Amino acid sequence: MNKLWTFGDSFTAGHGCTPEWEYYKKYYKEGDGLWSQHLADELNLKLVNLGKNGASNDQIIDLIIMNYNKISINDTVIIQKSYPHRFDVPSMIAEGDEWISIFPRVKSDLYLKTLSKEQYETVIDFYYHFADNSKYKKRQNLRFSFLINCLTKDGIKVYLWDILNENGKYETIQSATNNEIDDGHFSFNGHFEFYKWIYQKITTKKEII
């Protein structure tokens, strides 16, 4: 069975809408799911969802590279671009991910709380002086384009979407729960709305979204 591969950050991983989250535990009903699963069912493909909560674009690109040789002709690949100002530092944790994505605008970033005063100041200074530089976005786009060209030359269907363009267009967990849960990720209905949008793009054969 051919596969649907999805790469991205929490909007692809399904933050809030998988069993470990409060929203899922309180609001899940039969038929609810992530946009990726709705799309896989629609296209009759087996889903391989490699979305990762908190992923930077570098981590997303790494995951595509690590799985490149597993992707077969007649598979479909959907790549989500994350926020360009997220950046990675080597993990100081003995077990777990090799890299940690830093996103200081999120006050609850748990990793930042584990750093020493000197490490914290280094990360914050770097973030505010360099991370928003447009050159990061340009470099990331170059790498995404290269991987997409490689995949399409192999006869694989590839679609790209950017959270900066789509965030705020679909129902969020916060709005679905009338502010009970403060979470700006897609609600179950938001996932369904997004699935309908991306399916329409695919059926009109727009390979780069």
Tokens 């694989």 belong to 156
Which domains are present in the chain? 3-85+134-203 (3.40.50.1110), 90-131 (no CATH)
Per-residue pLDDT, 209? 58
Instruction: Indicate the Cα dihedral angle 162, 164, 168, 174, nearest 10°.
Output: 90
Per-residue pLDDT, 93? 66
Per-residue pLDDT, 124? 85
**Exposure of 79 in the CB half-sphere (CA atoms within 13 A):** 31
Nearest-10 crossing angle of helices 134-153, 57-67: 20
Check: pTM over 0.95? Answer yes or no: no
Per-residue pLDDT, 95? 61
Per-residue pLDDT of the chain (209 residues; tens, 9 = 90+): 999 999 999 999 999 999 999 999 999 999 999 999 999 999 999 999 999 999 999 999 999 999 999 999 999 999 999 999 998 888 766 566 688 888 766 544 567 777 888 988 888 888 889 988 999 999 999 999 999 999 999 889 999 999 999 988 999 999 999 999 999 999 999 999 999 999 998 888 655 55
Per-residue pLDDT, 67? 97
